[in-house]
């Protein structure tokens, strides 16, 4: 080879080596550690508020009854005979509940709160007032007293449709209601002698 050709060969070789060094890709290194979470960005623009929904139906009692037996204007006792039902003259009913003068009928099935009681009665004799469900005496809901203050009871019962309720004098003697605590002066005329309140809660 002539000298000039050697010089050109060397120059070309150097150029090729330089190109390889500058532009050839080496082995990929391992991933670095994940950096910290960046700051929270600003909140976006709120979307439009939807329209107000329709007004719901008006609430109220589902089924309700309030009944009482009030004493009259005379100091003489009012008598409820043995095994007789206690009459109710002041009656308010709502929903499926009705009263025919003898029995209270619950039209809808459900869970009911039942409150009943009596008072201002003759002392010295055993009194027994029972809650009747479908004409059956409920011994566990029978009030028995021997003084003149009577008693009261509140229970929760699951009732089927068209169940009947009533209060009965289950003693062997008359149940005597007086219109005053002292039984001789008519100062408490119109006081409640017995009551039966029924309200569906579920």
On whether residue 71 sits in a domain, the answer given is yes
pLDDT band for position 183 (50/70/90)? very low
Give me the CATH number covering residue 97. 2.60.120.40
pLDDT-wise least confident of 61-65, 88-92, 119-123: 119-123
Residue 145 has pLDDT above 90, yes or no: no
Count the domains in the chain: 1
On whether residue 17 sits in a domain, the answer given is no
Residue 147 has pLDDT above 70, yes or no: no
On whether residue 180 sits in a domain, the answer given is yes
What average pLDDT does range 103-122 have in this prediction?
Answer: 88
What average pLDDT does range 21-42 have in this prediction?
Answer: 71
On whether residue 40 sits in a domain, the answer given is no
CA-closest candidate to residue 195, choices 144, 154, 136: 154
> H helices within 115-195, ranges in order?
none
Residue where the block lists tokens 């532009």: 23
Of 15 and 172, the structure prediction assigns the larger pLDDT to: 172
Of 191 and 102, the structure prediction assigns the larger pLDDT to: 102
Residue 159 has pLDDT above 90, yes or no: yes
Residue 35 half-sphere exposure toward CB, CA atoms < 13 A: 2
- Residue 7 has which token pair? 């010089």
On whether residue 6 sits in a domain, the answer given is no
On whether residue 176 sits in a domain, the answer given is yes
Q: What is the dihedral of CA 183, 141, 160, 95, to 10 degrees?
A: 30
Q: Which DSSP string do the residues of 62-95 spell out, in sequence order? A: SSEEEEEEE--SSSSPEEE-TTPBPP--EEEEET
Boundaries of domain holding 160: 64-200
On whether residue 51 sits in a domain, the answer given is no
On whether residue 1 sits in a domain, the answer given is no
């Amino acid at each position: 080879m002539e000298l000039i050709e050697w010089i050109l060969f060397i120059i070309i070789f150097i150029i090729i080596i330089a190109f390889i060094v500058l532009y050839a890709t080496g082995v990929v290194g391992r991933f670095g550690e994940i950096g910290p979470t960046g700051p929270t960005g600003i909140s976006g623009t709120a979307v439009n508020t939807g329209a107000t929904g329709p007004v719901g139906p008006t609430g109220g009692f589902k089924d309700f009854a309030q009944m009482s037996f009030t004493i009259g204007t005379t100091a003489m006792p009012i008598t409820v005979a043995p095994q007789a039902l206690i009459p109710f003259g002041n009656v308010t009913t709502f929903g499926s509940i009705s009263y025919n003068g003898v029995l209270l009928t619950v039209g809808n099935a459900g869970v009911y709160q039942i409150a009943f009681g009596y008072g201002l009665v003759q002392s010295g004799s055993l009194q027994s007032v029972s809650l009747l469900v479908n004409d059956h005496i409920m011994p566990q809901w029978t009030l028995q007293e021997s003084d003149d203050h009577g008693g009261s009871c509140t229970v929760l019962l699951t009732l089927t449709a068209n169940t009947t309720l009533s209060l009965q004098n289950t003693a062997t003697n008359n149940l005597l209601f007086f219109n005053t605590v002292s039984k001789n002066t008519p100062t408490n005329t119109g006081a409640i002698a017995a009551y039966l309140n029924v309200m569906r809660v579920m």
